[in-house]
Amino acid sequence: MSGAQQARDRYDEALRLALDEAERTSGSGDVPVGAVVLDPAGTVIGAGHNEREATGDPTAHAEVLALREAAAHAGAWRLTGCTLAVTLEPCTMCAGAIVLARVDRLVYGARDPKAGAVGSLWDVVRDRRLNHRPEVIPPDLVGPDVAARCGAVITEFFALRRLR
């Protein structure tokens, strides 16, 4: 197996874990987004799912919650060497948090054309004016089945909301 295929398999597995986390929003009214932070060895050290509706906290996005848990686990705010995998392209707040946490790699499963800040509307994480720029693994560099599932979870959620 090639190095590129091994990397893709690792990214796909991380996104599957993030999808499992997204399922935890069921019934809360929160948009089903999940995130996991992996340490350099590939061990999950942080996980989160959207909890804005459940907690009334506007910052309770999956990425922020996963980064907080990872920092607590690491005992430091710098998450150098870590990978954040998230089911949906981060918004500006989350993209800023990723930069500030010094995450080395961002993997995301679905683009967000309405609020995405990793290339769709803005590109916060690759802005050359900032002091840190993580490697970005977009949906077209992960397995098509995993990327499709990440997108489908969001599409299904909003389709059901429109029916209500």
The beta strand positions in the chain, using DSSP E, are 34-38, 44-49, 83-86, 105-108, 135-137
133 has a pLDDT exceeding 90: yes
What is the chain's mean pLDDT, rounded? 96
Query: Rounded distance, CA 134 to CA 34, Å?
Result: 19
Q: Which two tokens stand for residue 36?
A: 């996991």
pLDDT tens across 59-89, in order?
Answer: 999 999 999 999 999 999 999 999 999 999 9
pLDDT tens across 32-69, in order?
Answer: 999 999 999 999 999 999 999 999 999 999 999 999 99
For the question of residue 63 being annotated catalytic, the response is: yes
Helix (H, G, I), strand (E, B) or coil at 123: strand
Query: Rounded distance, CA 94 to CA 27, Å?
Result: 23
Q: Which two tokens stand for residue 18?
A: 């993030």
Under 8 Å between Cβ of 106 and 134: yes
Q: Which residues are annotated as a binding site for Zn(2+)?
A: 61, 91, 94
Segment 128-137 mean pLDDT: 96
163 has a pLDDT exceeding 80: no
- CATH at 129: 3.40.140.10
- What is this structure's pTM? 0.96
pLDDT tens across 114-130, in order?
Answer: 999 999 999 999 999 99
Question: Which domain does 69 fall in, by range?
Answer: 3-163
- From the candidates 21, 51, 63, 89, give the one annotated as an active-site residue: 63
Query: Inter-axis angle of helices 62-74 and 3-22, to 10 degrees?
Result: 110
- Amino acid 127: pLDDT: 96
Q: Rounded to the nearest 5°, which phi and psi values hold at 151?
A: -70, -40
Q: Which two tokens stand for residue 49?
A: 């799912």
- How many structural domains is the chain composed of? 1
153 has a pLDDT exceeding 80: yes
Under 8 Å between Cβ of 57 and 87: no
Confidence of residue 164 (pLDDT cuts 50, 70, 90): low
Query: Rounded distance, CA 94 to CA 67, Å?
Result: 10
Q: Which two tokens stand for residue 72?
A: 């607590």
